[in-house]
Amino acid sequence: MGGPSGPTDPTDPGDPGPQGGCTAAHRVTGTWSGGFQAEVTVTNTGDAPIGGWTVAWDLGTARIASLWSGVHTLDGSRVTVTDASWNGALSPGATAAFGYTADGAPPGGAVGAVCAAG
């Protein structure tokens, strides 16, 4: 007699298929008295294409003056940036970048930008 051909554990969904994921790398590219410029590079680290991304981090006491290649919202010092209509779709290993200028001191050390695909 043969056994079941699928997963034997009813809570096991089986192979979930290709997974998408991303990382975000934040770097300050320039400073001046009273402000700075930074770039954030988003990388698709998954094994499937992603249709969009969102990056969030704490900006501290600085305030965004301008941002390009993304759409940002603020909640106190928390900045959230979503992809622009033309740079959200990323193949595995592909990157997109956005930049901004801010008034105030640049963040010190690692920023801890968190990326979510979707």
pTM of the model: 0.82
pLDDT tens figures, 11-30:
444 444 455 799 999 999 99
Q: d(Cα 82, Cα 101) in Å, to the nearest integer?
A: 17
| Amino acid of residue 38 | A
pLDDT tens figures, 53-74:
999 999 999 999 999 999 999 9
Name the band, by pLDDT with cuts 50, 70 and 90, for residue 80.
very high
According to CATH, the topology of domain 22-105+113-117 is: Immunoglobulin-like (2.60.40)
**Which DSSP string do the residues of 59-75 spell out, in sequence order?**
-TT-EEEEEESEEEEEE
